[in-house]
Amino acid sequence: LVRTNTLVKGAIVQIDATPFRQWYENRYAKVLGKKKRQAGEEDQSDATKPRSKHLLAKIAARQSAVEPALDSQFGSNRVYAIVTSRPGQSGRCDGYILEGKELDFYLRKLRSKK
């Protein structure tokens, strides 16, 4: 509901990306939302961080890729999410981050409204 600014089930909201970025960087040991660097440059904080062989094996097994649209949202420190619960009186709200075709669809809708 646009006029009353009410959170309802199915609403598209923009949320802070910091907690999600921290979780992703901790789990996958990759930086999100940063510009690509030259081949010779590396992040010094990651290179000097000591890691056990067990941790390196776990990180290698978790290799994943983030799509460019979602990566650009992490660069602006805002991500789009959809509300899946009915917040009601308590105000507690559950949902998930939009990605893939669903994100493309809503980005097109938002651009056409502006």
The reported pLDDT for the residue numbered 60 is 82
pLDDT (tens digit, 9 = 90+) per residue, 44-96? 555 567 888 888 888 888 787 778 888 888 888 999 999 999 888 777 889 99
CA distance linking residue 73 with residue 79, whole number of Å: 5
CA distance linking residue 64 with residue 74, whole number of Å: 16
Q: Which residues, 6+ apart, have CB-to-CB distance to 22 below 8 Å?
A: none
Using alpha carbons, select from 112, 2, 20, 10 the residue that is nearest to residue 75. 20
Q: 38 falls in which pLDDT band (50, 70, 90)?
A: very low
The pTM of the whole model exceeds 0.85: no
Q: Is the pLDDT of residue 39 over 60?
A: no
